[in-house]
Structure 1
């Protein structure tokens, strides 16, 4: 995977890492990502982006990154494959690190989360359900009762995958 040859300015990476670790830990413990954490992260990102880039450019950088982060995971939420907190968390990450790095973080997150779900599915011996769900999503005519007919094979605290993907991209970009 191509990682940009630049790292975000100095205060951004430590702030993002602290925020995603906090989100991952609450997601593990409570199976939710608190809105107050996401809101504080968004506000902090706006302040830092404006401080680094000026008010106009900072606001645009903040909004662009948040919009890309939101847009990348929104379809998964709409298909009931992801919780709203995960979508909001990636939007917050995007507000901090910008559209290009959040795109890479989302890709890394999907790889990490996908491997994690495959391992979980293998451990639970639920591959037939996964195949039925994928066929149902790919071929809408086979869906029958819509998205609600898809049977869950379990869930994971996806904030952990988002944290791992984000930290991995930030560390790789810094190297």
Structure 2
């Protein structure tokens, strides 16, 4: 039951994130609520706490990247929903695999755009290139376009990796 719920949530979220760059509240918020209701019904207070702890870990894993502007709120809610359904251990592994796979996808995209060496140089020297003009600092707007990745894709791949780990690990 829980795996079916996760798969449905991910399919919808990946499609909307790839097409429209948005993970819908009408998917993530009911998913979170249904997880709490399901586990509360099945296991009472213990189930509610299981779902709540998973939710908080999922939320916590992406809250800092969200605050720093690296990802959207939908990504945070999606991982929190996964945590509410699958618990702390599953969402922790999913978060790790999502980060690794997202980084790998970003490297492939940068290689394809022939911007990997430039990006590495930028990361080593400075995230923002500053110029001094008459004593004032200006942001250099000659930087290439930012790399954008619909993060529901690495999250879905992270879930798949965690499913595989559970099954074969």
Q: 1:94 to 1:151 in 2, by over 3 A?
A: farther
SS at match of 1:82: coil
- CA drift of 1:168 comes to 2.2
Displacement after TM superposition at 1:103 (Å) = 0.4
Tell me by how many angstroms 1:71 deviates. Answer: 0.6
Q: Deviations over 1:64-105 (max 9, x none)?
A: 101100111111112211111111110111011111110000
1:86/1:158 contact within 8 Å kept: yes
Contact 2:14 2:153 in 1 (8 A): yes
1:39 equivalent in structure 2 = 29
SS at match of 1:33: coil
Q: TM-score, normalised by structure 2?
A: 0.82
Residue in 1 aligned with 2:15? 25
Change (3 A) 1:53 1:134: farther
Residue in structure 1 matched with residue 130 of structure 2 by the alignment: none
Cα distance, 1:129 vs. partner?
A: 2.9
- Cα offsets for 1:34-67 (capped at 9, x unmatched): 011001110111122113321x112211111011
Which 5+ residue runs of structure 2 have no aligned equivalent?
A: 128-136
Partner of 2:72: 83
Root-mean-square deviation (CA, aligned residues, Å) is 2.2
- Contact 2:21–2:150 (CA<8 Å) still a contact in 1? yes
CA distance in 2, matches of 1:12, 1:145: 51
Unaligned stretches of 5+ in structure 1?
1-10, 138-143
Question: Does structure 1 residue 64 correspond to structure 2 residue 57?
Answer: no
In structure 2, the CA distance between the partners of 1:35 and 1:129, relative to structure 1 (3 Å rule), is same
Taking the aligned partners of 1:153 and 1:130, their CA distance within structure 2 comes to 13
TM-score (normalizing by structure 1): 0.80
Residues 122-131 or 13-22, more deviating: 122-131
2:96 is matched with 107
Greater fraction strand: 2
Higher RCO (C-alpha under 8 Å, 6+ residues apart): 1
Number of residue pairs the alignment of both structures matches? 155
Between the aligned partners of 1:122 and 1:115, the Cα distance in structure 2 is 11
- Structure 2 distance, partners of 1:120, 1:16, is 27
